[in-house]
Amino acid sequence: MIKIRKIKKQEKVYDINVKNNHNFYANNMLVHNCVESFSLSKPATKWTEESDSDGRATMSSDGLYHACNLLSINLSNMVKASDELFEDVCFYATYILDVSVDEGTMPVLEAKTLSSLIRNVGVGAVGLGDMMAYNNMLYDTEEGQKFGEKIVEKISYNCYKASVKLSKELGAYPLFKAENYDKILGYEPKELNKMSPNGYDWVALQQDIKENGIRNFYLIAFAPNSSTGILMGALASYLPVYNKEMYQTLGDMSLPIIPKFIEKHFWSYKTKFQYNPIDIINFTKRIQVWIDTGASMEININPAIAKINEISDTILDGFIGGTLKTVYYSLTIDNKRDSGCTDCAN
């Protein structure tokens, strides 16, 4: 009999609203999400519409809806990048998304209104798995987990700096209030300084935000982006390779997967199903600290090495401890195909 841990009465689960450093409850605004990208929302109670032969359109509304505004940095092209190049790439990623808030087309009026008020964006990545393989780092070692954490903090810190720079030039988002930034990423900046694997000064960044504002309410979102990764020649998001057989099956589709550095770093491309899911969950918990919205975490289950109760307990520990916010989906290895040692293949 499998025993699944239950949450005790005294244990508080940190939902995405608790980790949100803004207090908008008084205005009936809550944080909602599509797993990786979070934003505020408020149900509409009053609105006006106009109709014509082309259909109907909302002309005014007191509602606020979330719309994704995402971009992925290709880390597989940055394996030798200097800190200066990282700073430049993060600045332009933030700038491009910020411009798209004004130039992009929103699906409904409520989304356009919210985007103009908080200028919500989500910078993420593809190819972290390639970068780790290039540097011979694994997801289930302390060295590998710290390496991944350093890269994600580097993206987060530099995007925040970029947004402050844009605020100095273009102004802060309209709902900005300095008192809402007593915490960053849900933590006291002094705590972030102690946790920072790169040795960044988050206290100084906080002071810069309070004095000069920040252009964007939310900044970081690690989406699943499998199709984007294929187009960019990189592994999806922050996750390891699906397999080494050069394809991934999704429903009736077979998608090509050719890891960028597999010729010279074959053994560093350990597959999703060779890792214990707990190692991926713990890796996610470490990088989630530096992501103000969400990371699309896949639970890839190989029944030969994974125990469902241990997976469940680890996820609950993450929610209770405040180091996990979301789980995207689970994927179980196909028992119909050979689940043997693909590393032995010619």
Q: What is the per-residue pLDDT for 344?
A: 44
Mean pLDDT in residue range 83-112: 94
Look at residue 40 in the predicted model and tell me its pLDDT.
78
Span 17-42+59-346 CATH architecture: Alpha-Beta Barrel (3.20)
Residues 262-271: pLDDT tens digits?
989 999 999 9
Buried b (16+ CB within 10 A) or exposed e, 265-297: beebbbbbbbbbbbbbbbbbbbbbbbbbbbbbb
Nearest to 305 by CA among 280, 283, 344, 275: 275
Report yes or no: 310 and 298 within 8 Å, Cβ to Cβ. no
297/290 Cα distance (integer angstroms): 15
Q: How many CB atoms lie within 10 A of CB 338?
A: 10
CB 184 within 8 A of CB 227: no
Whole-Å CA distances, 7 to 10, 113, 307: 8, 38, 19
Q: How confident is the model at residue 26 (pLDDT cuts 50, 70, 90)?
A: very low
Residue 237, pLDDT > 70, answer: yes
Specify the pLDDT at position 158: 98
**Rounded to 10 degrees, what is the CA torsion of 82, 290, 141, 89?**
-20
In this predicted structure, what is the pLDDT of residue 196? 98
Q: Tell me the pLDDT band of 1, cut-offs 50, 70 and 90.
A: very low
51-60: long-range pairs with CB below 8 Å, 24+: 57/109, 58/108, 58/109, 58/110, 59/109, 60/109
Rounded CA gap, 230 and 274, in Å? 21
Higher-confidence position of 138 and 250: 138
Task: Output the CA torsion sign for 84, 241, 318, 218.
Answer: positive
Give the model confidence (pLDDT) of 132-178 as tens digits: 999 999 999 999 999 999 999 999 999 999 999 999 999 999 999 99
Per residue in 295-309, pLDDT tens?
888 888 888 888 888
User: Of all helices (H) and strands (E), which one includes residue 294?
Assistant: none
pLDDT of 275: 93
Percent above pLDDT 70 for the chain: 84
Residue type, 117: L
Mean pLDDT for 229-249 is 82
